[in-house]
Amino acid sequence: MRCMHRRMLRSIGLVALSALWWIALSCAAPREYSYLDTRSVMAARQKALAGDTCVAPAVRELVREAEGLLGRTFPVVTEKRTLPPSGDPHDYYSLSPYWWPDSTKEDGLPYIRRDGRVNPERETITDRANLRRVYAAVETFTLAYAFTDDERYAGAAMNLLRRWFLDPATRMNPGLTYAQIVRGNTKPRGAGIIEGRGMIILASSLELLARSPQCTPEDRKGLLDWFRSYLQWLNESPQGKAEIDAPNNHGSWYDAQRATIALALGDTQTVRRIVDDAFALRIASQIEPDGRMPRELQRTRALHYSTFNLMALFALATVAERVNVDLWTKTTPDGRGIRKALDWLLPYATGAVQWPYEQITEYEPDFLYELLLRASIVYKDSSYRRQAENLRGIDRTTHRGILLQQASQQ
């Protein structure tokens, strides 16, 4: 027990150092990325160029954030102090958040699960936090470039992408074999693939960066080759084969990644196959006729995870549009569908009705804001937008969702 006690104290000390480093790097956590619809962004760009006052404050806030990130150092995957089981610093490595030392064992192994309660030991391995910052920064720089044509932002986005995915000295290997490791458990775990969901942002950003001279043909080819290898890993690795059967948000985000990357690669046949299959695998199987998602309701953060799964389904439906597949309105004969899930969740998420399931942490309505803006467009129902504008803690004049969720030409 003394040995485990010393290890935990050491972990807590490392967490404290990690927290101080994080505060020095950024005053606020990265925004919660979900997906990037390039056609919607370009529609917002046209509004901004036309002087639309509804999007102007959000553009100014975006530029302010991008300026704050210019010149900032973003650590790469090879800079971690703790190596993954492979011993290769190029392999992404993280610990599963809800697993803790077993207090009944002297060495604490194997770890045991406490759903919804994050073990701070996770922060002693920095790849997760560093990659999250890359996802968020690339999104910010790419959008700032899209709205201003300022090549500094495109250059900053490309520098990050080169360091993380192209430079032989610092690149990340294309796979998440050692993501969300559980100490004491040597079995491959597909759950860590959820930490790659920001790859959706990176793959989509390439479409917006393509018109910049900062994104050279060599850069684009190298990045697409990386994503091609990553997609192959998703499809063929033991972790990927396990995640395809995940009956909850993990399966939804797995498909959202695969479909978005296949779209970036120009493989529309694969995109169509994934989104066609997703209706049965992710929508009809996860959503009840009344709109409940039972797998998410089993969690200790049930409201959060219900919204989180909807984010993935919205991402899938958005990609499906690009290959002329409609997942927005498709329903089973007994009424299961994306809109039914949103409508069931909405009164609880807005606070109009008390949530009857577990939610052990505070619910962040920011998760919901962009979903409602998108729903108002795809369902041509302004009531969703009105409810979005009434969410607490949301600045509806500067929120980035205003720039990401605009009606676009089909």
**Residue 248's closest CA among 293, 198, 200, 311?**
293
**Residue 102: helix, strand or coil by DSSP?**
coil
**Residue 23: helix, strand or coil by DSSP?**
helix
Q: Tell me: the pLDDT tens digits for 173-229?
A: 999 999 999 999 988 899 999 999 999 999 999 999 999 999 999 999 999 999 999
Dig out the tokens for 400 from the structure.
């980035």
How many CB atoms are closer than 10 A to CB 222?
17
| Residue 72 Rama label (left phi>0; alpha psi -120 to 50; beta) | beta
What is the predicted pLDDT for the residue at 2?
A: 40
Give CA–CA dist 169/202, Å, rounded: 20
- Spell out the domains of the chain, with CATH numbers in brackets: 1-243 (1.50.10.100), 252-410 (1.50.10.100)
Give CA–CA dist 376/368, Å, rounded: 12
What is the predicted pLDDT for the residue at 408?
A: 78
Please report where in the chains the tokens 């998420």 appear, as a residue: 349
DSSP tag of 282: I
Cis peptide before 110 (omega within 30 of 0): yes
Q: Tell me: the pLDDT tens digits for 120-152?
A: 999 999 999 999 999 999 999 999 999 999 999
How many CB atoms are closer than 10 A to CB 147?
22
Give CA–CA dist 144/279, Å, rounded: 34
AA identity, residue 47: K
Long-range contacts (CB closer than 8 Å, 24 or more residues apart) made by 235-240? 237/175, 237/177, 237/188, 238/188, 238/190, 239/176, 239/177, 239/179, 239/188, 239/189, 239/190, 239/192, 239/193, 240/190, 240/193
What is the predicted pLDDT for the residue at 409?
A: 58
What is the predicted pLDDT for the residue at 403?
A: 96
What is the predicted pLDDT for the residue at 195?
A: 97
Environment class of 284 (CB within 10 Å of its CB; exposed 0-12, middle 13-18, buried 19+): middle
Give CA–CA dist 330/97, Å, rounded: 35
CB 362 within 8 A of CB 304: no
CB 324 within 8 A of CB 318: no
Give CA–CA dist 279/341, Å, rounded: 13
**Beta bridge partner(s), residue 95:** 181
Give CA–CA dist 63/69, Å, rounded: 10
Largest CA distance in the chain: 67
Strands (E), 174-320: 178-181
CB 343 within 8 A of CB 290: no
What is the predicted pLDDT for the residue at 21?
A: 36
Contacts of 349 (CB under 8 A, 6+ apart): 303, 306, 307, 363, 365, 368
Give CA–CA dist 25/76, Å, rounded: 14
End-to-end distance of the chain based on CA atoms, in angstroms?
63
How many CB atoms are closer than 10 A to CB 71?
7
CB 98 within 8 A of CB 115: yes
Give me the tens of pLDDT residue by residue for the chain, a chain 410 residues long: 444 444 443 443 433 333 333 333 333 455 677 899 999 999 999 999 999 999 999 999 999 999 999 989 999 999 999 999 999 999 999 999 999 999 999 999 999 999 999 999 999 999 999 999 999 999 999 999 999 999 999 999 999 999 999 999 999 999 999 999 999 998 889 999 999 999 999 999 999 999 999 999 999 999 999 999 999 999 999 999 999 999 999 999 999 999 999 999 999 999 999 999 999 999 999 999 999 999 999 999 999 999 999 999 999 999 999 999 999 999 999 999 999 999 999 999 999 999 999 999 999 988 899 999 999 999 999 999 999 999 988 998 999 999 999 987 55
What is the predicted pLDDT for the residue at 30?
A: 54
